[in-house]
Amino acid sequence: MKDTKLQLNKIYKILLILIVVFFSIYILNHMTLYISDDFLYRFELRHGVSDDDLQPINGLLSLVRSQISHYTLWNGRFVAHTIVQFFLQFDKWIFNLVNTIVYIFLGLLILMISSQITKKEINTFLIMTVFIFMFFLIPDFGQTVLWMSGAANYLWMSVIYLGFYFFNIKHREDNWKTITTASILGLLSGATNENSGPAVILMVILLAIYAYYQQREINLWRISGIISSIIGFSLILFAPAATKRVSERNEVSLSVSSLFDNFLMLTRYIINNYWIYFIIITILLCILVIKREITANILLNIFIIFAGFFGATYSLVVVDKIIERTMFGPTMLLITIMMILLSIWVDVISNDKLLILMLIPFILMFAFVYKTAFLDIHNTYTTVSKQYEIISNNINEDVKVPMISTPQSDYNAYSNGTNYLKEDKDAWLNKWAARFFGVNSISGDKKSN
């Protein structure tokens, strides 16, 4: 009876944490309206059709046609952009709701991976910690979690490739269900994005080698998953639109000097931005090794995830600049390593009150940072809502709207140069926004801000 009460008490605490996280993130989603590519993706892309004649996405057939054209006209990320175009058919609150659930699921998925590797139970401390880590450490939070197009490309894709990795860390029997699941997850994982997709391929290959070393047998489901993931990655890497963009914009540098310079640039970036991660991981590893609480299997899994981190990071060596949001995947992998080690450390401490006491400073810090982010996002939301009100009252007319003030936080999706409405009505995004809302033109009035 006592054990049952303890379990129920634990469930209530976990539910309370998840409810707090849900509403915290949902509110920020609610205050983040359409930005940049969202206006374009509302329409069905078609070969040989002028922009003025493009029609809004309407149903499954329209979505499929658009993605076929998108693959040859825009870029190869068909998985992410199918999600974007699907949700752009509906009111934004639907995306806000589902996107918040995906955010929570990502945190739980990281905990499920750490629990599977360590065989340790998930508790309230770990749940609170993973969401604090995510809120503080996710790069360009506004653009990768709150902005619809950005969230689909980074937040949602991380659930897919980490889900594929989670599927692979457990031994499974060969049967049609396992092989089919591995193949589907592998294809989707490989097609997520250009740096995290191949990194996870490397991770599952290393897992397959380790599994063969342990069992001396080759699993067909592992082979099918690896092959399908390579196919998925090839689909986005060699997409006609992707190769065309690379050649036209000269985005990729393959000369020896450029590769060397970019390698040094990435190394400096890792040292400058991830040194605290490495210190935490090193300290935890030393403590657990001294206490003999860590096994060879756990160390090997940490090594594999580290290989994925460096693979995802250094795969960017062919580009000349680092875009913060492309580091979403590597950051999730480092958070996963920290949660693996913390899962063991928490089991060693085995004092719930002490653990919660240790979290209090971080909870207070979260509250302070969240308040700052909330106020900044709300300030932008107020202006954008006013823009929408003016636009909705002037359908089929030329509209002038107030400009948003410069965002002060990376939690604001309109920050860091995200493309939004300009003063010039002939600006690229202004034209698409005008079509999106059904007005003749949209220009910006900076003085009214």
pLDDT digits (tens, 9 = 90+) for 238-258: 888 777 666 555 566 667 888
Question: Burial code of 196-213, b = ≥16 C-beta within 10 A, e = fewer?
Answer: bbbbbbbbbbbbbebbee
Tally the C-alpha atoms within 13 A of residue 285's C-alpha that lie toward its C-beta: 14
155-168 and 92-118 helices, crossing angle to 10°: 30
Closest CA to 338 of 281, 378, 290: 281
Q: How confident is the model at residue 109 (pLDDT cuts 50, 70, 90)?
A: very high
pLDDT digits (tens, 9 = 90+) for 79-106: 999 999 999 999 999 999 999 999 999 9
Q: Could you count the other beta carbons within 10 Å of the beta carbon of residue 42?
A: 21
Q: How confident is the model at residue 382 (pLDDT cuts 50, 70, 90)?
A: very high
Give pTM, 2 decimals.
0.93
pLDDT digits (tens, 9 = 90+) for 138-150: 999 999 999 999 9
Query: What phi, psi does 123 have (nearest 5°)?
Result: -130, 180
Residue spans of the domains in the chain: they are 2-252, 371-448
What confidence score (pLDDT) does residue 385 get? 93
What confidence score (pLDDT) does residue 249 get? 58
352-392 and 124-137 helices, crossing angle to 10°: 40
pLDDT digits (tens, 9 = 90+) for 186-205: 999 999 998 999 999 999 99
Q: DSSP string of 314-338?
A: HGGGGSSS--GGGGHHHHHHHHHHH
Tokens of 60: 């499954």
What confidence score (pLDDT) does residue 218 get? 84
Does 362 have pLDDT greater than 60? yes
Tokens of 249: 């914009």
Cα–Cα distances in Å, from 342 out to 113, 163, 193, 333, 413? Answer: 13, 21, 29, 14, 31
Report the mean per-residue pLDDT for the chain: 89
